[in-house]
């Protein structure tokens, strides 16, 4: 079964959390798809991944531009890079059956946005009911990610 991780944003930004997680998966030689809900969000993430640090960038491609890279940004269900991991950000969704062939699926949701919290709860219930291994991560007061469930 697929490991599903839920990251509850309260203080950190999506961009900062996502870049840290993407760096870790690239160190494992994994590939990832980042699914968002709007072209504007994709372009903002695209720009951030090129500029977030002076001494580094994350190799990535974006739907409609270029070939597949280790990280692929999309608003659709395309996965041209044969990823091990799917990130769902900014309210993006996935059918629980669609993720069964992946190693992991990470849903990053805004804890200050009630519709995002509700989508995360619904996805938790659906994926847990299918037997996927689900875990919930929340930032501590010291800004470290702690497993809550």
With beta carbons less than 8 A apart as the criterion, state whether 105 and 2 touch: yes
Q: How does pLDDT run across 27-80, given as a tens digit for each residue?
A: 999 999 999 999 999 999 999 998 888 777 788 999 888 777 999 999 999 999
Domain boundaries of the chain, sorted by first residue: 3-147
Q: How does pLDDT run across 4-35, given as a tens digit for each residue?
A: 999 999 888 999 999 999 999 999 999 999 99
With beta carbons less than 8 A apart as the criterion, state whether 86 and 106 touch: yes
CA dihedral 54, 58, 60, 62 (to 10 degrees): -60
E strand residue ranges, the chain: 3-9, 32-35, 60-62, 71-74, 85-89, 104-110, 133-139, 145-147
At 128 the pLDDT is 95
With beta carbons less than 8 A apart as the criterion, state whether 6 and 134 touch: yes
CB under 8 Å to 100, separation ≥6 — which residues?
1, 2, 130
- Give me the CATH code for the 3-147 domain, please: 3.40.50.10110
Q: How does pLDDT run across 79-93, given as a tens digit for each residue?
A: 999 999 999 999 999
């Amino acid at each position: 079964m697929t490991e599903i991780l839920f990251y509850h944003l309260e203080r950190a930004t999506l961009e900062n959390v996502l870049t840290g997680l993407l760096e870790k998966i690239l160190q494992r030689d994994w590939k990832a798809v980042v699914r968002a809900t709007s072209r504007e969000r994709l372009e903002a993430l695209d720009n951030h991944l090129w500029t977030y640090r002076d001494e580094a960038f994350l190799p990535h491609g974006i739907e409609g531009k270029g070939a597949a890279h280790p990280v692929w940004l999309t608003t659709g269900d395309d996965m041209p890079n044969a990823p091990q991991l799917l990130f769902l950000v900014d309210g993006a969704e996935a059918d629980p059956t669609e993720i069964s062939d992946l190693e992991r699926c990470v849903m990053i949701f805004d804890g200050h946005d009630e519709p995002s919290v509700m989508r995360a709860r619904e996805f938790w219930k659906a994926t847990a009911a299918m037997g996927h291994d689900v875990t919930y991560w929340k930032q501590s007061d010291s800004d470290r990610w702690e497993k809550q469930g």
